[in-house]
């Protein structure tokens, strides 16, 4: 197992160009995450607050403090406080509604780090079960709200999306979703926003469409 994990990480990193690999560790026990960390991987993504909390506590206990945790899952308002308290939380990729934005603002004081990067999730595949903002107008209001705060640690940092799940042609759907994300950035006229897009099955497409962050799980942690 060990060598294989190191090789998979190395091969994937060779493809990244400028992009950052978020290794999605949600399927894996913390031992595997620590092993990946020992190979130099520091960015990890989790989609459940309780699981992220448990893993981050193990990292803390072992003084593995260069880690950068990325929350990538659906977020409920009643979990925001617990999430913000997690040591070495680096960013949230799944900020998907005004309600969550308001809760983040309300609970910001719980966050102990220097800055919390926020990626706003857009539902570009328009599948019903996907969360995220549905329109640019809606998204713009939340971005403006955060940008209007004084001395806030909440940083408007990027946009996030996922390709369609139910599709005849996942390549075409992924391209469509990723281009829509890029177009949204243009419409917002915020060219510094980073793009978080691409998972195991479509990360190559995402990279060629200009992803700044890819979130890859099953391909790394088999």
Ligand X SMILES: *Cc1c(COP(=O)(O)O)cnc(C)c1O
Q: Give residues in contact with ligand X (CB under 6 A).
A: 24, 26, 47, 72-73, 162, 199-200, 215-219
Residue with tokens 């915020």: 190
Nearest distance, CB of residue 5 and ligand X, angstroms? 15
Nearest distance, CB of residue 148 and ligand X, angstroms? 28
Of 28 and 184, which has the nearer Cβ to ligand X?
A: 28
Phi, psi (rounded to 5 degrees) for 37: -60, -40
Nearest distance, CB of residue 142 and ligand X, angstroms? 19
Judge whether 40 and 12 are in contact, CB under 8 Å.
no
Q: Quick one: how many helices (H) and strands (E) in the chain? A: 8, 8
Of 145 and 176, which has the nearer Cβ to ligand X?
A: 176
Of 47 and 177, which has the nearer Cβ to ligand X?
A: 47
Q: Which residue is nearest to ligand X (CB)?
A: 217
Distance of CA 79 to the CA centre of its chain: 17
Nearest distance, CB of residue 162 and ligand X, angstroms? 6
Of 59 and 96, which has the nearer Cβ to ligand X?
A: 96
Please tell me whether residue 205 adopts helix, strand or coil conformation: helix
What is the torsion angle, in degrees rounded to the nearest 10, for the CA atoms of residue 98, residue 194, residue 70 and residue 167? Answer: 80
């Amino acid at each position: 197992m060990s060598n294989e994990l190191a090789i998979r990480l190395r091969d994937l990193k060779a493809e990244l160009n400028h992009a950052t690999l978020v290794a999605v560790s949600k399927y894996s026990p913390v031992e595997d995450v620590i092993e990946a960390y020992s190979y130099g991987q520091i960015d990890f993504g989790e989609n459940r607050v309780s699981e992220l909390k448990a893993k981050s506590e193990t990292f803390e206990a072992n003084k593995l403090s260069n880690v950068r945790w990325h929350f990538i899952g659906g977020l409920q308002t009643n979990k925001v406080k617990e999430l913000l308290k997690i040591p070495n939380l680096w960013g949230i990729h799944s900020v998907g509604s005004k309600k969550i934005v308001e809760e983040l603002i309300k609970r910001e004081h719980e966050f102990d780090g220097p800055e919390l990067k926020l990626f706003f999730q857009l539902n570009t595949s328009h599948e019903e079960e996907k969360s995220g903002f549905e329109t640019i107008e809606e998204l713009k209001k939340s971005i403006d709200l955060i940008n209007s705060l004084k001395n806030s640690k909440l940083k408007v940092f990027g946009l996030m999306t996922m390709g369609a799940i139910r599709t005849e042609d996942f390549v075409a759907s992924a391209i469509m979703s990723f281009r829509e994300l890029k177009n949204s950035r243009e419409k917002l006229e915020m060219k510094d926003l980073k793009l978080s897009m691409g998972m195991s099955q479509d990360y190559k497409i995402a990279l060629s469409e200009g992803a700044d962050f890819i979130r890859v799980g099953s391909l790394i942690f088999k």
